[in-house]
Amino acid sequence: MLFTAPGCTPPATPADAHRPRQTDESGETAGDDTGGAPPAGLLVLHGGTVVDGAGARVMDVWLDGATTWAVTSQDPPADATIVDVSGKFITAGLVDAHVHLAHSGATVWTGDPLEQNLRANLYHGVLAVYDLGGPEVLFAVRDAAESGELLAPHVKATGPFLTAVGSHPCESAPNADLCTFVAEDADLAEQVESASDAAHARRAAGADAIKVALADADFTAWPTTRLDLGALADITAGGTTIAHVDENIDVIDAIGAGVAVLAHPVFAGPMSDTALGMVAGVPVETTVGAFAAVGDVLAGTTDLSDPGLVLGPGVLDNWIYVRAHPEVLADGWALASDDWASDARDNLPLLRDAGAVVLPGSDAGYYFVPHGTGLHRELAALVDAGFTPLEALEAATATASDTLGFPGGRLEPGRAADLLVLNADPTEDVAALDDIDQIVLSGVVYDREDLLDMDLGGGPGLGFCTSADDCGGAQACDGLSHVCGPACPSPGAADNDCGADAYCLATDALSSEDGVCHPPPGATSAGDCDLYTQDCAPSSYAQACVPFDGDTNGCWTSGPRTAGQSCSWDDADLACGVGLYCSLLDFRCYTLCDPSAADTCPGSQRCTEQLSAPGVPWFGVCL
């Protein structure tokens, strides 16, 4: 469970947050437009060297609760609490412009990573994050962080992607927490919404912006459609829109349709003159490290013994396994990723020279990209691409905060008191930004190492959970959706007490003995497909309707295996085809049949009824 951290001051927006910056001849920033006396009870970071876009200078930082009151060389007030940071360097907290908080970076589901991802960002000085593709429950995480009920970075979130059926990031399988499909295909009317309706619903649910995928149809190996440009215009007309892009044509179409932010640089070749001619003033997130991550893990560049890797459960074991067994990865993916990383890195200085607003974004949560550490990899990539350490710092603080609307990012009066106290000078080496002594979040000072063990806050009633303690009563925490649902005692059992449209899932989706009814009440049912009509859709995806447990059917990945062949529930290459069932007794594919209908089994086989409990019919297979 996450418990309220002692001394955690709720973030606040001061009434004078937008007052003009006051500067005297020494370069100091005053805390009061009228020159009035400082308030009582200031917290003063004394004796350090302030570092920001203006350079480095020895000054004190005066904090009034959750707000910076002054940056000055004046003597502190007599009643101030003094924190001696002599010999240290003070910067604004970092902003990661592109993360996925609900994703771990593993290639398979390993358990709920949300708490550790929040902790990892704090530990590495990332005090504001923009989640660009994840479940809507992250809106509740954002609100809990802003209210002070959760010790976490400032969060902005888009909710799931709006994307075309079969397009990025759900090319090969639907995922309700990651993708909402927009299309005009009447055959998919029950699976998709119009673009304008989908965007309106997402904004009404609390999205800070809308994330769309505008990926060129020829870029992936999957047969895919591309988001219609008319649909994209509907989305951008309603408010801020952020677009995933791959190629030059995506950049041209996205900017032409009014997209506000590009979630990646072009990473399939050099940027064209046409695309570069359109990016002036357009924010572009870097994500070089995300493309390089798979190659770095396989090559050993990523130190998997690094104690700074703060990862969700099972993630490190997954990465170690993949390093030892690279054959489990899709053919050519690692080599393609290396090419994408190289092209993206080469395009960064072109973007800067063309006047784009370059925002460091790690894509943390993508395969092999850790939260927290991922942003520091990104800053190193910027320096590798020709940016100075000071330019990289400014991009990840003031520029990112101002562009994305976060309250910190600058050491100025009225800005959020979100600061880092460093042991080395980040203008000399950008790696110093991860050599952190103390972290100041909303005016509260934390020793960095304490954040690894500190309870982060939370509890019942916040709209999200990471454990049953956040739920209460006869409730359990669904580790997939981060919401509370009815507890059930026997995951996978035929008699699960969850009702006709839900099944008992292990709370961490793996091997827990504790269960939660999935999906939770009010969510889209998993039991809405028919075994005998095989109505899983969209048909773009390789899915079959299969029996999940004693009273629930659901859509599952289908594969190439035919009746009588061996099969697996874990390996898509060994999955049974549509209309077949992989028996849990002998792991062979059997043809599904309706025991109540005329026998349609081939040859001498007969439709044999299977029971979920003594005397309780369920489904039939041909035997």
Q: What tokens were used for 591? A: 């043809």
The torsion angles phi and psi of 153, rounded to 5 degrees, stand at: -60, 160
98: Cβ contacts below 8 Å, ≥ 6 apart = 130, 132, 263, 285, 287, 359, 361, 362, 363, 364
Angle at 391 between CA 388 and CA 396, to 5 degrees: 130
What's the whole-number mean pLDDT along residues 561-565? Answer: 95
Angle at 195 between CA 192 and CA 199, to 5 degrees: 105
pLDDT of 457: 87
375-413 per-position pLDDT tens digit = 999 999 999 999 999 999 999 999 999 999 999 999 999
Place of tokens 């209908």: 597
Q: What is the dihedral of CA 359, 364, 369, 371, to 10 degrees?
A: 110
Contact 577, 544 (CB under 8 A): yes
pLDDT of 24: 39
For residue 13, pLDDT over 50 is answered with no
For 621, counting Cβ atoms within 10 Å of its Cβ (0-12 exposed, 13-18 middle, 19+ buried), the class is buried
Cα dihedral 395, 401, 402, 403 sign: positive
Altogether, the residues listed in the chain come to a count of: 623
What's the whole-number mean pLDDT along residues 355-366? Answer: 98
Question: Which residue, among 87, 89, 62, 86, has the nearest Cα to 73 in the 3D structure?
Answer: 62
Q: Is residue 475 classed as helix, strand or coil in its secondary structure?
A: strand
Q: Is residue 277 classed as helix, strand or coil in its secondary structure?
A: coil
pLDDT of 3: 26
pLDDT of 528: 64
What is the spatial distance between Cα 201 and Cα 398, in angstroms, rounded to a whole number? Answer: 32
186: Cβ contacts below 8 Å, ≥ 6 apart = none
More confident: 22 or 517 = 517
The greatest distance separating any two alpha carbons of the chain, rounded to the nearest whole angstrom, comes to 96
Contact 85, 447 (CB under 8 A): no
471-495 per-position pLDDT tens digit = 888 899 888 888 888 998 877 776 6
**CA of 329: how far to CAs of 22, 166, 167, 363, 621, in Å?**
56, 21, 20, 19, 34
What is the secondary structure of 490-527 as a DSSP string? STT-S--SS-TT-EEEETTSSS-S-EEEESPTTSPPS-
pLDDT of 12: 33
Residue 382 Rama label (left phi>0; alpha psi -120 to 50; beta): alpha
325: Cβ contacts below 8 Å, ≥ 6 apart = none
What is the spatial distance between Cα 402 and Cα 128, in angstroms, rounded to a whole number? Answer: 12
More confident: 241 or 546 = 241
Q: Which amino acid is at 140?
A: A
More confident: 225 or 585 = 585
pLDDT band of residue 181 (cuts 50, 70, 90) is confident
More confident: 524 or 77 = 77
Q: Which helix (H) or strand (E) element contains residue 163?
A: strand 161-163
First-to-last alpha carbon distance for the chain, in angstroms, is 49
What is the spatial distance between Cα 114 and Cα 369, in angstroms, rounded to a whole number? Answer: 14
What's the whole-number mean pLDDT along residues 196-211? Answer: 93
Strand order in the sheet with 503-506: 475-478, 483-488, 515-518, 503-506
51-102 per-position pLDDT tens digit = 998 889 999 999 999 999 999 999 999 999 999 999 999 999 999 999 999 9
List strand residue ranges (DSSP E) for 280-388, in order: 283-285, 357-359
Contact 589, 580 (CB under 8 A): yes
Angle at 562 between CA 560 and CA 565, to 5 degrees: 105
Contact 152, 134 (CB under 8 A): no
pLDDT band of residue 610 (cuts 50, 70, 90) is confident
What is the spatial distance between Cα 239 and Cα 250, in angstroms, rounded to a whole number? Answer: 19
pLDDT of 419: 98
Q: What is the dihedral of CA 113, 119, 122, 123, to 10 degrees?
A: -110
To the nearest whole percent, how much of the chain has pLDDT over 70?
86
Q: What tokens were used for 388? A: 């100075």
Supply the mean pLDDT for the chain: 86
CA 611 to chain centre: 41
Q: What tokens were used for 303? A: 């130190």
pLDDT of 551: 63
For residue 577, pLDDT over 80 is answered with yes
What is the secondary structure of 194-262 as a DSSP string? -HHHHHHHHHHTT-SSEEEEE--TTSSSS------HHHHHHHHHTS-EEEEE-SHHHHHHHHHTT-SEE
What's the whole-number mean pLDDT along residues 275-295? Answer: 96
